Amino acid sequence: MNRPRPGLDRRQFLRHAAVGLFAVSSAGVLSACATSGGGPTTAAQGDVSAQNPLGVAADAGLDVVIFKGGYGDEYALFHEELYKKAYPQAQVEHTATTQIAQEMQPRFVAGNPPDVLDNSGAQKIDYATLAAEGQCADLAPLLDAPTLDDPNVKIRDILLPGVLEQGTYDGKFLMLNYVYAAFPMWYSKPLFEQHGWQPPTTLDEMMALCEQIKTAGISPWAYGGTNAADYVFDLSLGMAVKQGGPEVAKKIDNLEPGAWQQDVVVAGVQAIEEMVRKGYFMPGSEGLKHTEAQTAWVQGKAAFYVSGSWLENEMKGIAPPDFTMTAAPVPALDSGSALPATALRTQPTEAFIVPARAKNVNGGLEYLRLMMSKEGASKFAELTASVPSVKGADAGAAATPALQSVTAALDAAGSDVFSWQINTWYVNFWKSVLQQQLGNLLAGRIDANTFISTVQSESDKLAADQNVPKFKR
Amino acid sequence: MRYGKYRFVASFLAIPLLLYIVFVVSPYLQAIYISMTDWRGFSPNRNFIGLANYAELLGDGRFWRAMWHNALLLIVVPVVTLGIALFLATMTTVAGRRGSVGHGGVRGSRFYQVVFVFPHVVPLVIAGVLFGFFYNPEAGLLNGLLRLVGFDWLTRAWLGDTTFALPAVMAVLIWSFVGFFYIVLSAAMKSLPTDVFEAAVLDGAGGFRTFVSITIPMLTDSLKTSYIYLGILMLDCFALLQVMLPDGGPDGSTEVVAQYLYRAAFTEGRFGYASAIGVALCLVTLVLAIVVLRMGRRERVEF
């Protein structure tokens, strides 16, 4: 036994040092690069002409940053080639990453952002934040510019319905969502043919069909409760909007008092409650990730699944070859609906922006114009088996069943497409309030009334919250 | 070692200390400053707002709820993990076959050592993915086993159940950390002087008595350090939860402070507020470390 020495001994010193080192957690990460930014930059300018409607400086470099996710970045390389062909003196820089927010943050703060940014993926920069901070150039000049293929047609005239609304914040068009995603109900055609089932167009038909499906020993619906319960809301709110018209969604987006208490919205939520009560959702769905739920669905354990049109791509190699994934619009509440049965929810995704303080804003706009040319858009369709947001793109891709059925559904819908913005304007509300409460509803922990009153009161709270930038449409 | 000893020690540590100050201390100081602004993270604009973020944090129910989840992790996981690790280490190092107290463990210890350490080799993120499948309500191993032995009433949607989601995550953490602390405590036990054990045996102490009166007191320092280390991990837990329950679990029942911080920063664009959360978390961590170190101070045994 030694008497403890006063002051510092070897062990104590090492231990204190160790604790000091360990006591470092994640707080430092956020501030790793938060120093002062630069002033406004002057963007490169060229002479405006018929060939160069956006005034691109022929020798200015172009810095393109692409989110390399489900669509890869091959299409972007092709678009960059188009740009180089048009402006041989320009140096084009290409960056592909999945860590958009983390990698772009220091560049936005320091005032040297890229000229074109594909702001997408799980690590995207929150749209509302970018818009509120004034970091996106107004794309109005692009909208009024002639298309590459026909000088008499303006870019704004070839955008598919909803693209303009989706990218507009406070009356300014700031983001070009390049992929035209649809949100139908999905099912396996052979399975339905085998049983003689028809996709429902009204809620009553849906309930009747669910009963038949359940009797056949299959769960009517599946969902991924741990991270994607909100997909089911496409059904609930989709039915409501089809019944009552686009105004229904507008009220919700504008956070109006009583928006969630609209009759059709309540009816849409009650429908979900009834489906839960009757056991129309695959048991255990609340404990599944979306990937697991989708896997169970393609294995034939469930009949319906709601998701965006990327679903087929996501299940490539997992779905059996004869699955024949097929899209159908969500039903309306009843036959007297404001929108026709063919109406479809579409929400353009993959937001391309030209940062306001880019060195070559005009070049960035020109790049987007090239993306929307027949050649650029068709190549995208071919490489990604997805529908781009512009008219007249020939899908040279091998048409897959899902792509074919979505294209057919879009054609049938025509201009009767609808969506809501609340999920992109107020992501945090959507995730931490709506998705959470929907999870509770689907797991039978709350009923429709509780859902409505909770979401309404949180919506009112959000409307009054000074810290969240608000948008109106 | 009286006069100027700190300066003497510091001279050896000058370069690492400099690196530490640049890469750790300075971001921290910046974080403290940012936590007093309304910075939104993607532009240079920010206004100094004093302690407004902290005032908001005090009244933020979701923050406190997340903190409570961390507190639960902090209480349960280290106690269970260290308990299991201590038991296993004892069995394979000092449980001693008859007549060889303090030497070697039970039969087959070598084999057990490898088995116990194995989970520690699996990265936590991968463990999260694997256990996600394990807990899958329909196709998962856990419910499959329960059905096999006729315990159908026990099957649940584990990660979708407000009562069981957090314990399910705790189980993964425990599974993952036992191996490491088994190594730490085994090493500590092996360095214990055998004469003390021999004396205990001569005095007629049995295995359990030896464990309680000799092994545990002599391991106090290792246990404290282990607890602090585990505690710091429990105050974080971001990676595993982000893999298993990225959206905070059923009804938000598994959201931890680090996830809340991440969400405040990257989905709400409130980097000032997120920094305030980070600073608060850092303070809690430091307090925890200090409290544990000061706990049960007694005359130190050096051997």
pLDDT number for residue A398: 60
In chain B, how many domains are there?
1
Give the mean pLDDT of chain B.
90
Q: Which two tokens stand for residue A391?
A: 């008219």
Nearest CB to A128: which of B137, B235, B269?
B269
Q: What is the DSSP letter of B36?
A: T
A224-243 residues touching B, CB cutoff 8 A: 225-227
**B9 in any annotated domain:** no
Residues from chain B that touch A284, judged by Cβ atoms under 8 A, are 136-138, 157, 160
CA-to-CA distance for A384 and A77, rounded, in angstroms? 13
Q: Tell me the helix, strand and coil percentages in chain B, rounded to 5.
A: 70, 0, 30
CB A282 within 8 A of CB A296: yes
State which residue of chain B sits closest to A33, comparing Cα positions: B27
pLDDT number for residue A49: 86
Rounded CA Rg of chain A: 25
pLDDT number for residue B207: 80
pLDDT number for residue B293: 86
**B35 in any annotated domain:** no
Where are the CATH 3.40.190.10 domain residues in chain A? 10-180+350-399, 185-346+421-464
Nearest CB to A28: which of B27, B232, B274?
B27
pLDDT number for residue A136: 96
* A282 to chain B, closest Cα gap in Å: 9
Residue A174's nearest CA partner among A218, A216, A130 is A130
**B241 in any annotated domain:** yes
Picking from B7, B8, B22, B42 by the largest number of A CB atoms within 10 A of its own CB, the best residue to mutate is B42
pLDDT number for residue A27: 42
Burial per residue of B76-100, b for 16 or more beta-carbon CB atoms within 10 angstroms, e otherwise: bbbebbbebbbebbbebbbbbeeee
Contacts of B202 (CB under 8 A, 6+ apart): none
Burial per residue of A111-124, b for 16 or more beta-carbon CB atoms within 10 angstroms, e otherwise: bbbbbbbbbbbebb
**B228 in any annotated domain:** yes
The partner residues of B149 in beta bridges, in order of sequence, read none
Q: What is the DSSP letter of A433?
A: I
**B155 in any annotated domain:** yes
Residues from chain B that touch A290, judged by Cβ atoms under 8 A, are none
pLDDT number for residue A3: 44
What is the domain class of A185-346+421-464 according to CATH? alpha beta
Residue with the bigger pLDDT between A272 and B297: it is A272
Size of interface A-B (CB pairs under 8 A): 210
Residue with the bigger pLDDT between B205 and A147: it is A147
Q: Residues, chain B, total?
A: 303
CA-to-CA distance for B54 and B281, rounded, in angstroms? 12
Contacts of B191 (CB under 8 A, 6+ apart): none
CA-to-CA distance for B172 and B159, rounded, in angstroms? 12
Residues from chain A that touch B157, judged by Cβ atoms under 8 A, are 225, 283-288, 443
Percentage of residues in chain B having pLDDT higher than 70: 93
pLDDT number for residue A39: 43
Ranges under pLDDT 50 in chain A: 1-8, 10, 14, 17-40
pLDDT number for residue B302: 61
Interchain pair A27, B270: CB under 8 A:
no
**Any B CB within 8 A of A1 CB:** yes
End-to-end CA distance of chain A: 78
The CATH number of A10-180+350-399, from 3.40.50.720, 3.40.190.10, 2.60.120.200, 3.40.50.10490, is 3.40.190.10
Residues from chain A that touch B274, judged by Cβ atoms under 8 A, are 30
pLDDT number for residue A232: 96
**Any B CB within 8 A of A398 CB:** no
Is the pLDDT at B99 greater than 80? The verdict is: no
* B187 to chain A, closest Cα gap in Å: 16
Interchain pair B157, A105: CB under 8 A:
no
Cβ burial, residue B234 (10 Å; 0-12/13-18/19+): buried
Q: Residues, chain A, total?
A: 473
Report for A243-247, B2-6, B97-101: range of highest mean pLDDT: A243-247
Q: What is the pLDDT of residues B161-189, one digit of tens each?
A: 999 999 999 999 999 999 999 999 999 98
CB A201 within 8 A of CB A242: no
Domain region containing B196: 61-296
Burial per residue of B181-212, b for 16 or more beta-carbon CB atoms within 10 angstroms, e otherwise: bbbbbbebbeebeeebbeebbeeebeeeebbe
CA-to-CA distance for B43 and A34, rounded, in angstroms? 10
CATH code, domain with B85: 1.10.3720.10
